[in-house]
A and B are shown apart, each in its own frame.
Chain A
Amino acid sequence: RKEVEQDPGPFNVPEGATVAFNCTYSNSASQSFFWYRQDCRKEPKLLMSVYSSGNEDGRFTAQLNRASQYISLLIRDSKLSDSATYLCVVICKNQGGKLIFGQGTELSVKP
């Protein structure tokens, strides 16, 4: 089983749609969580951190469920510019703090 797993997609949605991505992790010692965005042929860039209480940044909402060991990203009112690959990242303290990436979920927002 992979340490961090995401649905690879692609998710094809119309503009204005709401879309949700899930990411599961296997190590219960995981302690920090992030969502990154990667555009085609570019480096990943931090979208948002994920806090235990959940957090929101404009149209984006991230949530953490430690009991079920998953994090989620919700995008409301999708824009064409949201088209990208979204990467889930986990840091495990008992693995020397290394960053572990999911394989990414591709989102394509259509007019």
Chain B
Amino acid sequence: DGGITQSPKYLFRKEGQNVTLSCEQNLNHDAMYWYRQDPGQGLRLIYYSQIVNDFQKGDIAEGYSVSREKKESFPLTVTSAQKNPTAFYLCASSIGQFGNTEAFFGQGTRLTVV
């Protein structure tokens, strides 16, 4: 089945450690996105990529990094510079800017700093 997969579903990290969240899609979508959601809050854009080997900062990129070496994959690294990383992280993909179509989401990763 086509879809977008995030892993792991739950992740625990010690303070000061970097951690990488995986996002893979087999929908042949050009655009991919990372959002962060805090309890009772909306989605805030971290990074997005409209094409392979290119990505742009969103509204809250500080303390995060991404890569887009393959069309199918858009991993997010939460670095030790991110002061409050505990949150629900959502990855999404869409056809891209020329399609202006809806986005499909993965099931999310809950990151907890212990």
Residues of A within 8 A of B (CB): 31-32, 34, 41-46, 49, 87, 89, 91, 93, 96-104
* CB contact between B35 and one of A91, A101, A104 (< 8 Å): that residue: A101
Nearest to A45 among chain B residues (CB) is B105
Residues of A within 8 Å of B90, CB to CB, are 43-44
Q: Is the CB of B96 within 8 A of A100?
A: no
Q: Is the CB of B92 within 8 A of A101?
A: no
Q: Is the CB of A96 within 8 A of B97?
A: yes
Knowing A43-B107, A104-B42, say if A99 contacts B50 (CB, 8 Å).
no
Q: Is the CB of A99 within 8 A of B94?
A: yes
Q: Is the CB of B107 within 8 A of A97?
A: no
Q: Is the CB of A32 within 8 A of B101?
A: yes
